[in-house]
Structure 1
Amino acid sequence: MAPKFGTSGLRGLVTELTEPLVRDYVTAFLSACPHGGAVHVGQDLRTSSPQIAGWVMETVRASGLTAVDCGTVPTPALALSALGAGAAAIMVTGSHIPADRNGLKFYLPTGEILKEDEARITTALGQPLPDGAGALETKDAAADYVARYTRGFAPDTLAGLTVGVYQHSSVARDLLVAVVVALGGRAVPIARSESFIPVDTEALDPETGALFAGWFAEHGLDVLISTDGDADRPMVVDDAGRVVPGDVLGALTARHLGAGVVCTPVSSNTMVEDAAFGLTVRRTRIGSPFVIAAMEEALTADPAARVVGYEANGGFLLGFDTGTLAPLMTRDCLLPILAPLAAAKVAGVKLSALIDALPPRFTAADRIAGIETARAAAFLEDLTEGPEARAAFFGEAESALDLTDGLRASFAGGHVLHLRPSGNAPEFRCYAEAGSRGAAQALVARTLDKLRATLT
């Protein structure tokens, strides 16, 4: 499948991310979008990323602009660096998808591109390649990103906690250790890998969960943290050994920051709509460009609004100045890791107790790999066309149907099932919500079995 824009950025097989294609997209981006005269370039730890980053920087310089080489750096750190300089940015990353794939994430001087920017870039493809001679600079973008959080949180935020850092091939693996130590915690680096591991924080396999339990016992951990490959999605395992869903981290972070408006996709946990949170919730399609667009609409209506956004994967977007943290409207991993732990400290309880006090709505998610988008789309079209087809597949008639992104069906028993193709890979995703964790997980398992029988 040829590289294309998905829910966040351009993605495709490494074999298809050829030098001409990469140069074509970079040239189109620079001609169609504002850039501020410079482009900050970062990359993740995939073996294919250095070469692709090299092509990006060569094309930026050939366009007569300054290429700022930020090296291997988290995506939110790169975005922070570029925003501070009033420059554009390009991140070379495939995020959480397998190592045989990679991609590009584009940023304007004002932040992450939106869907209309993607359309302009696509329209601008096919131009003659430039042959100018711009400058090359280097910058330590990671240092400013670490400083953002070591200054934004109290130095004793993690005091008394033994924090495991699942390092794998996360581009933030050393940075996480530095932040934990700076905020008073004891960091225990675990499972560093020199080969790329596609950790999907939304769909961890049972074997990985078993590893976590062993690490808690071996190292006496109070919490385990990690990220996906480019560090725009968090992963937190609480003191009870439970992986905390990203949308729960998002809701806790929004509450801790005193947000007033939350923009989040239809797939996120509905607990955030509970009156106890006191939030105005705006639902969007899945993908950070849609969340950002909703945040910008809210801020246009009320520039003083305390607006935040997050996705079900936990990537958190800050749209207002908290007094200690400036806005950063791109998916971030560190804020939704630190804020819930800070909230637990303020409350004088463990993280697990903070989570157990939330409204009893539980989500689960998983995927089937190897399902081409066209096949998945045809299946969903069949389900969308008639209630009889849906009742036959789900085994019961829905009480409400939401077609904002894929097919999200609510049922009389209070449970929810949401089906959609991935925007980044040939995968079919299933999300469920129910009144207990076990019920949500069982819903996903049963539905995936039905999907396998239908689609494979």
Structure 2
Amino acid sequence: MTVKFGTSGLRGLSTDLVGSVSALYSTAFARHMLDSGALKPGAPIVVGRDFRPSSPQISATILAAVKRLGLHPIDCGTIPTPALALYGASIGAAGIMVTGSHIPADRNGIKFYRPDGEINKADEEAITRLAQELHADQGANRVEAGSGEDREAEATKLFIDRNLGMLAPDALEGKRIGVYQHSSVARDMLVTVFKHFGATVFPLGRSEQFIPVDTEAVSPDTVVKLAQWTDELALDAVLSTDGDGDRPLVADEHGVPLRGDLLGLIASRFLGAKVVATPVTSNSGLEQDGSFVVRRTRVGSPFVIAAMEDALAAGETGVLGFEANGGLMLGSDFTLGEKLITALPTRDSFLPAMAVLGTAAERGLSLSQLVEDFSLPVALSDRLENYASERSTSLMARLRASREQLSAFLAPLGELATVSDIDGLRVTLADGRVIHFRPSGNAPEMRCYVEAADKASAAALLEEGLSLLGRWSA
């Protein structure tokens, strides 16, 4: 059994998750909820899934497993993760989302939600411990196809209604917006919501085969598609999400994707945030904005949510969080005009996209002009796939062993100035450029993040950083 919790949920090969593993971990989660008092016998539990080929079978196994423990399974079908979380919170239900997010279809994952939001690291440890204890229990590992009460339409409507009041009905009148639908569970909702605001919406690239879209490291093939669509259709923007609809992709009128942390910054201003929690990988220019207090965390929604909870416990208001992938989390309620937007402490792709397009339209700017208006350091990121965890672990141990070894490794790039190891290794070079190496917590990948004063310098540094990673061997 090679599944484990990463930065957001349980992840593993689809072949491992299909069958007894999904039964075991959903049983452990349900037991943990019952034992902790978060759920009572007979309580509802909502289950959703993405469009991966393995997701329906995993979902059916989970529905059967939670029913065996005396809970009331509710099937929300193929639905975005934030929509499932919102619906679960509205009826006081725990939730389970079957999704591998942006990773390829040969892998999948399971995200767990308490009635009050995402599980935290302590919950993950408790679930893992219970799964180990139940590993030999035939009942906990039983694989059977279950079903649940169908509330997909109800959960979908609740999420759409939440989003329809974010902007004025005519806020995007005259705008031409493409929606790259691919295999995202948010694809139809995006069309519905942005048509409501007066935009002419063009559904694009719909696929019945699963396509992994990483909003933090957009593939070259996707960038080419975005540029072609904006040119051929004279689009003002192209919108998309990852597979489960909790990370946004927003591209400008030239098809150039906007950084997720810029989306978060614009959304923070749009909402009037006072405290922003965000990982160390987000743009270093956030602190210079001055509109809010920034609290840096490790990468992963559980750490951002924990920082938001700390701020709320200290009496702060206007608390939100976001990640470099663009997913926005509301720790507290916010008000837009007369609309109350209730807290939703899980990643959401819709609100940041609306905030960016609404802000640009209100200022009379194109998206590329809006990006220039913020003047953040140019930040780029990419990843090396199929980078074995043993290889990345060995590399990080070597670089952390001494400053001399780190300096020697980075010598082709320049001289070290400062180093942070909040999550991975983030190095500021003597000339002010930033490079950050971080093994993925969800897949066998090594990520590289860079910042520089201009795009050419950032692109060159990213290429050099990836080259260093690629040449290294244990």
| TM-score normalised per structure 2 | 0.93
Distance in 2, Cα, partners of 1:28 & 1:207: 40
Name the aligned partner's letter for residue 343 of structure 1. T
Residue 245 of structure 1 deviates from its aligned partner by 0.6
| Mapped partners of 1:91, 1:81: distance in 2 | 12
Partner of 2:311: 298
- Could you tell me how far apart the structure 1 residues matched to 2:2 and 2:236 are? 44
Structure 2 partner of 1:404: 422
**Are 1:255 and 1:277, in contact at CA under 8 Å, matched by a contact in 2?**
no
In 1: Cα distance, 2:299 partner to 2:408 partner = 26
Instruction: Name the SS for the 2:100 alignment partner.
Output: coil
Once residues 224 and 20 of structure 2 are traced to their aligned partners in structure 1, the CA distance between those partners, rounded to angstroms, is 44
The reply on whether 1:320 has 2:332 as its aligned counterpart is yes
Work out the CA distance in 2 between the residues paired with 1:35 and 1:220. 51
Give identity over the alignment, percent.
Answer: 47
| Structure 1 equivalent of residue 99 of structure 2 | 93
Q: Does 1:381 align with 2:397?
A: yes
Structure 2 distance, partners of 1:135, 1:190, is: 33
Please list, as runs of the form range in 1=range in 2, the aligned pairs for 1:356-371 lying within 5 A after superposition. 356-371=372-387
Q: Distance in 1 between matches of 2:283 and 2:147?
A: 47
CA distance in 2, matches of 1:228, 1:104: 15
What is the aligned partner in structure 2 of residue 2 from structure 1?
A: 2
Give distance in 2, aligned partners of 1:379 and 1:402.
Answer: 16
Picking from 21, 26, 35, the partner of 2:39 is: 35
Counterpart-to-counterpart distance in 1, 2:437 and 2:39 = 37
Moved more, 345-354 or 287-296: 345-354
**1:334 correspondence with 2:350:** yes
Q: Which whole-Å CA distance do the structure 1 matches of 2:90 and 2:465 have between them? A: 45
Unaligned runs of 5+ in 1: none
**Contact 1:66 1:135 (C-alpha < 8 Å) held by counterparts:** no
Letter in 1 for 2:293: T
Deviations 1:19-60 (CA, angstroms, capped at 9, x unpaired): 211111111111112235111000000011000000010011
What's the CA shift string for 1:218-260, capped at 9, x where partnerless? Answer: 1111100000000110000012432101001001110111001
3-state SS of 1:339 partner:
helix
Alpha-carbon contact 2:277-2:320 (below 8 Å) kept: yes
1:347 maps onto 2:363 in alignment: yes
Name the residue aligned to 1:20.
20
Residue deviations 1:271-320 (CA, integer Å, cap 9, x gap): 2111x432110000000000000000000001x51111000000000122
Shift of 1:151: 2.2
Of 265, 289, 307, the match for 2:302: 289
The 3-state SS of whatever aligns with 1:170 is coil
Q: 1:156-200 CA deviation, whole Å, 9 max, x = no partner?
A: 122111000001111111111111111111110111111001111
Whether the 8 Å CA contact 1:80–1:145 is kept in 2: the answer is yes
Q: Determine the C-alpha separation between the residues in 1 that align with 2:157 and 2:61.
A: 25
What SS is found at the alignment partner of 1:190?
strand
Partner secondary structure for residue 17 of structure 1: helix
Partner of 1:416: 434
CA contact (8 A) 2:44 2:71 kept: yes
- Once the two structures are superposed, residues 364-406 of structure 1 have per-residue CA deviations (whole angstroms, 9 ceiling, x without a partner) of 1111111111210110111111122222221233211111101
SS in 2 for 1:124: helix
Distance 1:241 1:71 in 2: 32
The answer to whether 1:159 aligns with 2:173 is yes
Contact 2:180/2:205 (<8 A) preserved? yes
Q: Equivalent residue for 1:59?
A: 65
Q: Letter of the aligned partner of 1:49 in structure 2?
A: S
Aligned mates of 2:189, 2:376 — CA distance in 1 = 34
The answer (yes or no) to whether the contact 2:252–2:367 under 8 Å persists in 1 is: yes
Q: What residue identity is the alignment partner of 1:63?
A: L
With over 3 angstroms needed to count, the CA separation of the structure-2 counterparts of 1:135 and 1:201, relative to structure 1, is closer
Aligned to 2:118: 112
Residues 166 and 226 of structure 1 are in contact (CA less than 8 Å); yes or no, is this contact kept in structure 2? Answer: yes
2:279 paired with 1:273: no
Q: Which residue of 2 aligns with 1:186?
A: 200
**Amino acid of the residue matched to residue 35 of structure 1?**
L
Please report how far the alpha carbon of residue 135 of structure 1 lies from its aligned counterpart in structure 2 after TM superposition.
8.7
Instruction: Give, in whole Å, the separation in 2 of the partners of 1:250 and 1:152.
Output: 16
Contact 2:283 2:379 in 1 (8 A): yes
Alpha-carbon distance in 1 for matches of 2:16, 2:221? 32
Are 1:160 and 1:186, in contact at CA under 8 Å, matched by a contact in 2?
Answer: yes
What is the letter of the counterpart of residue 327 of structure 2? Answer: G
Alignment correspondent of 1:432: 450
Other structure's SS at 2:353 match: helix
Q: Residue 171 of structure 1 corresponds to which residue in structure 2?
A: 185
Where does the alignment leave 5 or more consecutive residues of structure 2 unmatched? none
Amino acid at match of 2:304: V
Residue 320 of structure 2: which of 308, 314, 323 is its match? 308
Instruction: Using the TM superposition, name which of 324-333 and 35-44 deviates more.
Output: 35-44
Aligned: 1:79 with 2:91 = no
Q: Residue 444 in 1 paired to residue 462 in 2?
A: yes
Distance 1:85 1:367 in 2: 39
The letter for the 2-side match of 1:53 is S
3-state SS in 2 of match to 1:399: strand
- Give the AA of the match of 1:237: A
Which of 36, 50, 67 lines up with 2:56 in the alignment? 50
Residue identity matched to 1:222: D
8 Å contact kept, 1:238–1:351: yes
Q: Distance in 2 between matches of 1:359 and 1:189?
A: 31
Letter of the structure 2 residue corresponding to residue 331 of structure 1: R
Deviations 1:110-143 (A, max 9, x none): 0001111100101111334369xx9931112122
Distance 1:71 1:334 in 2: 19
How far off is 1:342 after superposition?
A: 1.1
Cα distance in structure 1, aligned partners of 2:147 and 2:187: 30
